[in-house]
Amino acid sequence: MDKLSDSPVPGKLKVVKSDDWSNWQEMEVDYRATAHRALLSAVDDRNIWVATDTGMILKLAAPK
């Protein structure tokens, strides 16, 4: 592992999306979201959630 992933300090959460599995775009995420690990859960296309190991739960919102 590299030194960054061994850090005890969680880093900024990044979420990416793709329509074709080739081109990926970073999504906007709450600036307070930090984590070492995150779990993505989807019930349907309107209920998508990310839970972090630091205790934050985020819901995917429609773009503004």
The answer to whether residue 5 sits within a structural domain is: no
The answer to whether residue 23 sits within a structural domain is: yes
What is the token pair recorded at 26? 């970073």
What is the token pair recorded at 38? 């995150």
Residues β-bridged to residue 44: 47
Please check whether residue 47 is in contact with residue 28, taking contact to mean a CB–CB distance below 8 angstroms.
no
The answer to whether residue 1 sits within a structural domain is: no
The answer to whether residue 29 sits within a structural domain is: yes
Residue 23 DSSP one-character state: S
**pLDDT tens per residue, range 11-24:** 999 999 999 999 99
- R_g of the chain, CA atoms, integer Å: 13
pLDDT at 63 over 80: no
The answer to whether residue 2 sits within a structural domain is: no
The answer to whether residue 50 sits within a structural domain is: yes
Number of domains the chain contains: 1
- pTM: predicted TM-score of the whole model, two decimal places: 0.79
